Structure 1
Amino acid sequence: MNPGPAASSSCASTRPSPPSPPSPLCGHLDPEERILAVAYDLFSRRGIRDVGVNELIGRSGVAKATFYRHFPSKDTLVLAFLEQRDKQWTVDSIISSARQRGNTPVEQLLAIFDVFSNWFRRDDFEGSAFINVLLEMGPAHPLGKASLDYLAKMRGHVQRLAEEAGLVRADDFARSWHILMKGSIISATEGDLQAARRAQEMAAWLIEHHQA
């Protein structure tokens, strides 16, 4: 899941002939930040397996030794990407925005789908990075397990809002709500720009079902 801000796709390079074309968009960043900015963009748009280390190095404009000093393996970089995605998407973009939009916990819960509606209409909408990595790598892979953990964190945020709203069976509620969230993301990926609105209508019924 991820309406996080789009990262720069590449960085300025001092190498005369990089294997992948660099871009000057993040030359002000230090090497570690440049690598992560490029990874954020490429992994978000193309997935994990389609992006190779050589392309990451070329687009970051760093030496191979520098890359491996900061990220000993590609999986290490993917884990850093997922952590950044969680902060920028789950915490900053969804939960914080939803809390600002609503005056009560119930309003804040429903506002999650208002945030989604805006996200689904963005040109850089690419679906949920956590779902994408989970499906690509599988639940038994360390990266798949990390994605499951981040999805569980999102569910935890929903459960806390449900508890603040005084809803009964908050854990069950959060799991059902999470189904609506993930389902709307997949529907939006299919091209349904009304997916968030449809999910919000079902979400209102779910809230009524869990009120004491």
Structure 2
Amino acid sequence: MATHTRIEEAAAPGPRERLLDAAEALIYAGGIHATGVDAIVKQSGTARKSFYTHFESKDALVAAALERRDERWMNWFIAGTQQRGGTSARKRLLGMFDVLREWFASEDFHGCAFLNAAGEIASAEDPIRVVAREHKERLLAFVRTQCDEFVAQANVDERRAARLSRQWLVLLDGAIAVALVSGEPDAALDAQAVAQTLLDAQSSGKPNTSANSKASRQSSSKPPPARRTAI
């Protein structure tokens, strides 16, 4: 019994982890500027002295909390993607939106923590913005690996993978934003439908024939149609 108690005590999170837990939960739900240090300290159950012992500022705490969330979120997203797609890159790419839909339907969904944070911080060099940018770069890198496999399996020009991966990131982040504003988890399915069309277009576009190339040249030589002035 005494041994079991010691194990539980050893596994209990320390002040730093409790501060990170509290900061992440409060800021994700309410925003950075609306969440004060006192609220974080109170929810963490630590002394205010502990905050200054482990973090030089509130921004440093927020950046650290986002870094930890990035690791956890990416592990969850990658695992969910792999589970739904198996060996098919196409199924994995489309399965990403099924993973998102489950997240959108959860009670604690408040959008993308990294987009939310970046929207509150003006300077691109702020550590919080840097963490947000690195998260999107990491997500894009994962998407790129899936797009690389897709073009290989579909026998599509491999040069399309880079552009496809950037378009995919826009669909993912767009679905997250729409789901946050509308409260509709099916925003993920709407994005998935667009994504499927995008993949079909990649496959149907191969190979490029001389006729298509000629038509493309003729089209590019024509002046663009007159554009109406937006009101």
Same fold (TM over 0.5): yes
Match 1:158 to one of 143, 147, 152: 143
* Rounded Cα–Cα distance in structure 2 between residues aligned with 1:86 and 1:47: 17
Over aligned residue pairs, what C-alpha RMSD do you find?
1.7
Q: Do the aligned partners of 1:127 and 1:186 also contact (CA within 8 Å) in 2?
A: yes
* Rounded Cα–Cα distance in structure 2 between residues aligned with 1:175 and 1:112: 15
Q: CA deviation at 1:56?
A: 1.2
Q: Which position in structure 2 is the counterpart of 1:196?
A: 188
Amino acid at match of 2:29: R
Q: CA deviation at 1:84?
A: 1.4
* Rounded Cα–Cα distance in structure 2 between residues aligned with 1:69 and 1:210: 54
Q: CA deviation at 1:139?
A: 5.2
Q: Would you tell me which structure has more helix in proportion to its own residues?
A: 2
Q: Do the aligned partners of 2:97 and 2:189 also contact (CA within 8 Å) in 1?
A: yes
Q: Which position in structure 2 is the counterpart of 1:176?
A: 167
Q: Do the aligned partners of 2:67 and 2:131 also contact (CA within 8 Å) in 1?
A: no
1:125 and 2:109 matched: yes
**Where do residues 29-68 of structure 1 align in structure 2 (5 Å cutoff)?**
29-68=13-52
The count of corresponding residues between Structure 1 and Structure 2 is 185
* Rounded Cα–Cα distance in structure 1 between residues aligned with 2:15 and 2:183: 37
* Rounded Cα–Cα distance in structure 1 between residues aligned with 2:202 and 2:27: 38
Larger radius of gyration: 2
Q: Indicate the percent of aligned positions where both proteins have the same amino acid.
A: 35
**Unmatched segments (≥5 aa) in structure 2:** 1-10, 207-231
Q: CA deviation at 1:64?
A: 2.1
Q: 1:55 to 1:141 in 2, by over 3 A?
A: farther
TM-score, normalised to structure 1's length?
A: 0.82
**Where do residues 84-95 of structure 1 align in structure 2 (5 Å cutoff)?**
84-90=68-74, 92-95=75-78
Amino acid at match of 1:44: Y
Q: Do the aligned partners of 1:139 and 1:148 also contact (CA within 8 Å) in 2?
A: no
Amino acid at match of 2:177: I
Q: Which position in structure 2 is the counterpart of 1:14?
A: none
